[in-house]
Structure 1
């Protein structure tokens, strides 16, 4: 099989040029323009950044992608799904406000913003996963599935559960509804923190299976009745109902790959990884640490597996920043071939790309083509 093409450009911008111009040239050279965008709804899947985190992608990059699509007759929109955890993006209103705070708006990006799984993270489509070993029917934010084309615009960085976050994680975990995220993160079902519970009964009113039960003014979840939909998590006004988050990291990675397949299967897609500000943790954190390595560049490909592997290889070829968390984790004078494994020894990012290749999303073999 012929290796997949992955296009790459550095982050050097000499006088008279700019990184935004280079990104546009990268998209053009990587043949993103060969997609028929005419009158098509185009979901640009992005992470708007948790408030307080400053390593998320600037909206300027999203505008280049949106303008590229609009110039070819498409109807782009920026999108993400609500989070499973407590924070600034748990519901659509807070999520949009967080996006605005971080500079994302129709004015700055040239397109509208939609939260794909609705107000409370429950607006989902059920998508069969052909060949799925762990997921038979993925729960994906409806607006993502309503789109004709999916473009992933990804900040490539480390991640405490998956090793790194790139195209596959942005597509898989990022496009999952609240119930979908719980399915990926959890081997079990939600539970109640009784110290936080105020006994309001909102979860009882939303549950179709009578799983929440009131005892002494506090709620408990009957796991024999619970189907794991996650609606109670989104509705709880004090965040007393919480996911188990007890899935093994390797299985989590495989589930992410299967969710990514549900998102990309059967329609055009394209993937852009910006390898800069490579912080050790996800942009879901309300903070960001010193980058682990120097900035690398911008990558683009039709293959989400190949682009993630190419970016991982590129990061692993870089020197470690002195004073970074990675420098402290690996120890002075030690050299590891896998920066992500050294930073998060309990993770194995290869389990995701290997499973993604196995179920037919793409391939790990790639040819790297530099764009000036």
Structure 2
């Protein structure tokens, strides 16, 4: 059965057509009677890495927060700490980064809570009983919330092709140990010749890399799959097993997505913002040129359907020649394959549907 996905474009010629008004109309379609005055609702967002500016604007987010406050007793904005060692690896740095990126109470109208605690130890074990995991590790304050509004910036991602609502649930709602469980099947492999420059050794946060007379060595028991070595190596010594490991990584993510919403059936809504559609996740400390034009805002109660619709809408665009796109510029071509050629972006939709997260079939309704 097809799920409804509501779509608002970005054209506006009056106050009734501005983004706030359109968000209000979308909210009424997917959140009407979803929450009660006794609910404590998590608005799951990505606060952006320091140096990144393509995340969903806190000014825009305020419209969603205000709508939740009108229908629920309490609301908070939340995210979880990162596995990699950037500006959001612990709650103190994470909150400082969030405020610097504009997510202050005066702007968003709600308190900020890092859901997995100071160092990622606030977690709940949730049964999913799937191929890779019997239980998954979900951030405690997300698990304990009454309901959730998942607000995602739809964009590219180097290991999953694109990141939308499903990835926001999977990585965004997992604790540090949960993120490691998802990543541990897809750790970097050594495929090139090392010139012993030592850059990767310096950039490894857990001292899992050493230099020997024969080249570089990875201690896989220590490796946390943060990919710092791949990003920093000037000689392309590192790569991934794209054929076997990356599909397994995508499956693990989808099983975590299932755990993130378990117990909240009928109490979750999703908003995808198809703006600033960059090739990379907002976890990188930069924002590259978009690969397609801005498209609009989508809302649904089905995370698979909203990502499927977002994926299709992006691919219907003509790609920007001045972007990182190497191919697939034409209308209808897979734009994310045009950036991350080794990744089958659509596989996350296939597996998510298979394990019961939602439907790839959707009916797009303009509001």
TM beyond 0.5: yes
Deviation at 1:196, TM superposition (A): 5.4
Deviation at 1:15, TM superposition (A): 3.0
SS at match of 2:255: helix
Tell me which residue corresponds to 2:232: none
Deviation at 1:70, TM superposition (A): 0.7
Q: Which runs of 5+ in 2 are unaligned?
A: 189-198, 207-217, 227-238
Deviations for 1:201-242, whole angstroms, at most 9, x for unmatched residues? xx9xxxxxxxxxxxxxxxx9794xx8x9x7xx9xxxxxxxxx
Alignment counterpart, residue 364 of structure 2, candidates 338, 361, 368: 368
Distance 1:360 1:119, change over 3 A: same
Distance 1:85 1:40, change over 3 A: same
Tell me which residue corresponds to 1:186: 184
User: Pairwise mapping of residues 15-94 of structure 1 onto structure 2 (< 5 A)?
Assistant: 15-17=14-16, 18-28=18-28, 30-94=29-93
1:274 paired with 2:279, answer no
SS at match of 1:34: coil
User: Pairwise mapping of residues 110-149 of structure 1 onto structure 2 (< 5 A)?
Assistant: 110-130=109-129, 132-149=130-147
CA distance in 2, matches of 1:288, 1:43: 26
Deviation at 1:189, TM superposition (A): 8.7
Deviation at 1:186, TM superposition (A): 1.2
Runs (4+) of structure 1 exceeding 4 A deviation are 193-197, 220-223, 244-247, 333-336
CA distance in 1, matches of 2:118, 2:240: 23
1:264 paired with 2:261, answer yes
Deviation at 1:97, TM superposition (A): 0.3
TM-score, normalising length from structure 1? 0.82
CA distance in 2, matches of 1:292, 1:52: 19
Q: Which runs of 5+ in 1 are unaligned?
A: 198-202, 204-219, 234-243
Deviation at 1:291, TM superposition (A): 0.5
Distance 1:195 1:303, change over 3 A: closer
Distance 1:334 1:147, change over 3 A: closer
Deviation at 1:194, TM superposition (A): 11
CA distance in 1, matches of 2:30, 2:201: 55
CA distance in 2, matches of 1:31, 1:336: 28
TM-score, normalising length from structure 2? 0.83
Deviation at 1:122, TM superposition (A): 1.9
